[in-house]
Every structure is written in structure tokens, then in C-alpha cells.
Amino acid sequence: MSTQLSDDIHFIGCFDDKIRSFDIIMHTANGSSYNAYLVKGSEGVAIVDTVKKEFSQDFFKQVESLTDYNSIKYIILNHLEPDHSGALSELLEKAPHAEVLVSSTGVIIFNSLLKDKLEKVKYRFVSTGDSISLGNRNLHFYSTPYLHWPDTMCTYDDLSKTLFSGDVFGCHFCDRRLFNDKVGEFHYSFKYYYDHIMRPFKSYVISALKLLEPLEINIIAPVHGPILRSDPQFYMDLYKKWSHEDYLAKEKYGDKRVNIFYASSYGATKIISEAIFEGIESIEGARAGLYDLEALEKENMIRLLEESDGIAVGSPTINGDAVEPAWILLAQLAYIDTRGKMGIAFGSYGWSGEACRMLEDRLKGLKLRVPMEALRLKMFPNDEELKKAFDYGKEFAEILKGKMIEMTI
């Protein structure tokens, strides 16, 4: 039995109360849902998104209770990740006349999804400004790339004023009462989802909100979690607030902000980090922070990384590797937008000293610009080496302030 959102718009999604982690990185203690929708018009039916493959049977049962497959004119895929495209192949077999509509930014992913089946499928790539008609209602497309894949878009029904938003405004929360004014407390999950899925793409969130803001929206229908029919603007405002959130002294004061994170077993890497700190602080308009990784919570790591223009990470080498807290720090870079940030690595070592190079490689792998070779110092630094560390910090701050250098590494 499907649930109706408004006249001729039906929920045909599925509830997954057993799932406990999503995309490996997210915990889902309350499960999740794969929301899909069926929209009826006077001249045909559109399906908006599908479900995870394992839930196809339930999905098709709901479709069949509402329409016959020959009436399905369009299949709209706001997002191509398998939790929403899992029933697509079977749906195309059942509804061979339907035209598939996918964002023009999703060409490569769509081609890879259907591969050799592609030539038998009727499809079209759409972007902002495009729309389709179902007779008495039109569905308009809004390209919202990187929320959270390149292919993502939103679809707006101008009759009911429903925004089918894909992953945007979604959350992993499983409650069959479905609507935000009926389900239990889910706001923690809404924020958790934003932090893990959308936060790395804040600038794209801001662009998407600008695009969607002029629309009159009565209902936000995302692909996970509650349908937001009570005060949808509240959720848009939350996204706006979080995406503009400013933890930063730098925006207020115009400084270049460098945060130095270190782990130190005997204190040598700590001493180096302090000299780097002094070097950075010696440059006007550069502001440094110094943090011992042994006592830093992950959430605070994320906040500090996010506010940094430059990141300096220091670790001793133990058993041929950097120490775990340094790796934990760098793992948090996956949750933020790293574009435009620079990174450097440093550390003390006893005999082999691999840690710095490994950290440096990881910084590069995470798309940070690494303008200087890592600073590796043997054992405790002497005065000359401390001067070297000071100059290293100074040089890094100067580069961040715009000093031109030749990249040799």
C-alpha cells in the first residue's frame, strides 16, 4: 500500500530498518529508507528515483498498485548511486517505452551504469531550465552537481509545489510514519547526514540553495528519511546556516590561518612544531594554532581543518610509519572541502624517518597543495635545526600569503 504525499503523488519507496552502516562511513542506528515517488499527470506517469536492488520487489508491488507500466512515460533519476538506481534495469524491462531523464552532469556515470543495455534505452540528459509535461503538471529540473555526486539534480513539480531533492535534505532515519510532522526525533540524523555527505561540498550547497530559493516549495521529498512537508523552509534555512557557518577568525580578520597538529613521543616533534609556530607567527597577516593530536577530538579536528588555509602535520616515525593520531587527523579531511588548502609535514625520527614522506604523500592524495618538502629532523633539534624549523614555518606562511615559488615536489 503506497502513501500519498498530495494529489497524484505517491511514495513508492522502501524502509530498511536493518542497515547499520551506510557507504561504510555512516552509522545508521535507526536504519534508513530508500524513497521513490510516482507522479501522475493527465497525460502520463513519471517515476522519480527507484530503490536499492534488494528492495525491488516491494517497489514494483507499489508501482503496480498505482499504474500499469505502459502509462509510465518518464523515469527521472535525480541521483545514480545504487541505493536509488538499483531497480532501474528491471523497471526498464517492465516499462520499455519510458524515457529516462538524467542530469547532463551524470553522462559518464549513466553510461557506466547501463553499459551494453544503453542502446536499447530511450534517454535524455537534462539540466536547469529543462522541463517535461505530464499534461496538467510540469516537472522542472535543477542541476545541483556534487550534492553529493557529480550527477545529482533536483526535480520540481509545479502543480503540488513538491521538490524531489535527491540526497539533499535527506537523512538516514527509518520511520514508517514518513512525514516530518509524524515521525520521531530525527534532527540529529539530519545534521549527521549533512556533516558526512554535504559538508565537503559546502560551496555547491550554497549554489544549489540560490537556485532553489526562488521556488515556492510546499513539500521537500528527499530520497532518504522523512518527507519534509511541515515547514520545509526550516530545513533549507538549516542548510544555509551550516553551509555559511563560520568558525573562523580568518574571515573576520582577513588572516591566513595555519593550524599545526603534532604527535610527539619524547617531545622532539613537539619542539619542532613550536619553532614552526613561531616562524608562521613572525609573518604579518598569518595566524597559527598549535594542537597536540593526543588530546584532540575528531569533531574539533574537522572544525580546525575546515578553518585552515594551511595545515602542518607532524609525527615521529615509529615502526616505519606515522603514528595513528596523525592518520586519524588526515582521515577527517574527507569531510571537508579541501580545495585551495595547502599542507606540509614534519617530524623527528631516530633512524629511518618514513613518516614525513608518508604524510606528505597523503596530503597530496587528498588534493592539498604541498608547496614544500617535508621537514625531517633527526632526534632532538639543535639550535641550527630549530632555526631551520622557524624558517620552514615562515616560508610556509609567506607562500600562503602569496609568495610565488617554483614547485619542485
The 3-state DSSP class for residue 348 equals: strand
Cβ partners under 8 Å of residue 165, min gap 6: 78, 154, 220, 221, 222, 223
Please answer whether residues 269 and 263 qualify as being in contact, where contact means their C-beta atoms are separated by less than 8 angstroms: yes
Q: Which residue is nearest to ligand FEO (CB)?
A: 81
Which one among 8, 16, 49, 83 touches ligand FEO, defined by CB under 6 A? 83
Q: Which is nearer to ligand FEO, 13 or 279 (CB)?
A: 13
Query: Bridge-partner residues for 161, per DSSP?
Result: none
CA distance 9 to 25: 33
Q: Does 223 bind ligand FEO (CB under 6 A)?
A: yes
DSSP state string for 49-84 = ----GGGHHHHHHHHHHH--GGGEEEEEES--SHHH
Report the candidate in 353, 288, 354, 363 with the shortest Cα–Cα distance to residue 329: 363
Q: Which is nearer to ligand FEO, 84 or 199 (CB)?
A: 84
Quick one: residue 384, left, alpha or beta (phi over 0 = left, psi -120 to 50 = alpha)? alpha
Q: Which is nearer to ligand FEO, 19 or 280 (CB)?
A: 19
Q: Which is nearer to ligand FEO, 148 or 229 (CB)?
A: 148
Contact stretch for ligand FEO (CB under 6 A) within 80-88, 299-307, 321-329, 344-352:
80-88
Contact stretch for ligand FEO (CB under 6 A) within 4-12, 79-87, 279-287, 296-304:
79-87
Output the CA torsion sign for 386, 391, 394, 399.
Answer: negative
Which one among 16, 49, 81, 360 touches ligand FEO, defined by CB under 6 A? 81
Nearest distance in Å: CB 197, ligand FEO: 7
DSSP assignment letter at 200:
G
Q: Which is nearer to ligand FEO, 28 or 273 (CB)?
A: 28
Nearest distance in Å: CB 129, ligand FEO: 24
DSSP assignment letter at 19:
-
CA distance 233 to 215: 11
Instruction: Give the H/E segment covering residue 175.
Output: none
CA distance 340 to 402: 12
Place of cell 553529493: 148
Q: Does 224 bind ligand FEO (CB under 6 A)?
A: yes
Which one among 8, 167, 306, 398 touches ligand FEO, defined by CB under 6 A? 167
**What number of chain residues touch ligand FEO (CB under 6 A)?**
8
Contact stretch for ligand FEO (CB under 6 A) within 75-83, 135-143, 185-193, 397-405:
75-83
Nearest distance in Å: CB 339, ligand FEO: 20
Can you point out the beta strands (E) in 293-356?
Answer: 310-314, 342-349
Nearest distance in Å: CB 224, ligand FEO: 6
Which whole-number Å values give the CA distances from 186 to 147, 172, 316, in the listed order? 20, 9, 42
Which one among 10, 40, 73, 79 touches ligand FEO, defined by CB under 6 A? 79
Contact string (CB under 6 A) for ligand FEO, positions 305-344, x = contact: ----------------------------------------
Q: Which is nearer to ligand FEO, 84 or 376 (CB)?
A: 84
Nearest distance in Å: CB 119, ligand FEO: 26
Residues 121-150 that bind ligand FEO (CB under 6 A): 148
Nearest distance in Å: CB 254, ligand FEO: 37
Q: Which is nearer to ligand FEO, 202 or 224 (CB)?
A: 224
Q: Does 40 bind ligand FEO (CB under 6 A)?
A: no
Please answer whether residues 152 and 144 qualify as being in contact, where contact means their C-beta atoms are separated by less than 8 angstroms: yes
CA distance 3 to 19: 22
Residue 109 phi/psi, 5-degree rounding, is -65, -40
Nearest distance in Å: CB 166, ligand FEO: 8
Contact string (CB under 6 A) for ligand FEO, positions 84-123, x = contact: x---------------------------------------
**Which stretches of the chain bind ligand FEO, using CB under 6 A?**
79, 81, 83-84, 148, 167, 223-224
